[in-house]
Amino acid sequence: MDSLPWPQGKKLVHLDLKGAPPRVEYLHQLIECFSILGADGLLVEYEDMFPYEGDLKLLQASAQPVYSPGEVLSLQRFAAAKGMEVIPLVQTFGHMEFVLKHKSLAELREMPHCVGTLNPHKEESLRLVMEMLRQVVALHPGLNTLHIGADEVYMLGEGETSKQWLASQGHTVEQLFLSHVTKVAKAIKEAWPHLNIVMWDDMMREMSQEMLTASGLVGLVQPMLWDYTPNLDVEKTVSLLEKYHTAGMSELWAASSFKGSTSVVTNVPRTQRHVENHLQWLKVAASISSGIKLKGIAITGWQRYDHLSVLCELIPVALPSLAACLQTLIHGQLSTEAEGQVTKLLGVSSVEAEAMGSVSSAVPSFPGRKLAESVLELNILLDTEDIRFFENSMFVRGWLSHHHREKKTVNPLMGVQIHNQASMYLTTLQEKAEAVREEMVLLYPEATAQEWLEEHVQPVMAPLKRILDDVAVCVKDMVS
């Protein structure tokens, strides 16, 4: 039986700006595209792209200019004109890598080698978090909802102060987590009583209903359950939602994914995987009790797994996936009608990016289409075994082995053939990589293009360059 459409609440698109932050002009184009595709809100995770001031200025990105206050405001105005609510996400416990990586703030880490988790015992920790929030709220006039993160608080309880605290009878890591989050939530409510507070739910999943009820969080926060897998356990997820509801947390959110959740090194998303994730969420929404108020769903598009990991799929190659996911929520399935909407709105022949076809002037084109096509063309080359594994080919292993290179003894005829083949591969890669770079810098900072190319292209080009250098040395030794 087909699922019903997403029943109620917002359909937020997650903008993860801690990697590949779009240029402002492109950001506006994307917001308009999201609106056309059916989204009515944005979950914006600024991280180091927010224009923090004063003592927090050190949090600003150094690789590229951060968004200016005027640009942050223009983003909101542009979104509002499209009927879209903007919800900022500011991490306040875990995943604070962009804050705690700085040596001047290292004393606020739970563990010296864990740059993501804040020490919940220090008063300065709460002051830091509240100053970050104050600056973000101040630059979001008319703000209604704030997301405080609090997912994946790794190593909590491992710090020396935490161990002393846990040594007291009845103290647990769960209570330590709840204590800090409750302090943050109460401080927010005291400063901005009208704000709705959303937080990730994963650290509370194993807690009992009784513990949650007694935590002090009831009435303060709205948990957002996240699961990005295509085989999401519907029964288990419904049970979790019901537990939160019974504990007194009746206003709840869901979080799915359109990119950035397959693997840390995925370059092009597979739309079907993400559609299946949304189909599972539709089953969850259709199965919960009437007392649960679903506030909406955040369709996440992670750009990094954390602040210090590599870049995930870029937005342009993931727009077909996002469009398919949104249409799945709107129609209750990726029906022929829903798929037709995607291909019509984006001007593609398939919802799968790798099969979307070339652009035609006769059909609409989505923002970033040329970059998406360039990335896909380059990706095909990078995945070609003859190129990626040329160093392990019969000719290189047979006539340009490590022994040959050490002794500088090579059959000149075979060396020239190897050189010519490697040179051809390298030239082709360089041409395609330059085409990607030219398109990418139009939409993203130079630093993003450099990072993306170093991440995806250099590991394939480097062995080819070594082969060219080694052949040149060996052949010269043999024929001179």
Alpha-carbon gap, residue 343 to 367, rounded angstroms: 14
Q: CA torsion angle for 322, 327, 330, 336 (degrees, to 10)? A: -160
Helix, strand, coil % (nearest 5) of the chain? 55, 10, 35
Distance of CA 439 to the CA centre of its chain: 21
For 147-173, the three-class secondary structure string (H helix, E strand, C coil) is: ECCCCCCCCCCCCHHHHHHHCCCCCCH
DSSP letters spanning 223-235:
EEEE---TT--HH
Alpha-carbon gap, residue 450 to 45, rounded angstroms: 22
Catalytic residue among 71, 131, 152, 354: 152
Alpha-carbon gap, residue 306 to 287, rounded angstroms: 33
Contacts of 103 (CB under 8 A, 6+ apart): none
109 strand-pairing partners: 118
- Give CA angle at 293 (34, 194), nearest 5°: 80
Residue whose structure tokens are 């360039």? 374
Alpha-carbon gap, residue 464 to 480, rounded angstroms: 24
Active site annotation includes 97 = no
List residues with catalytic annotation: 152
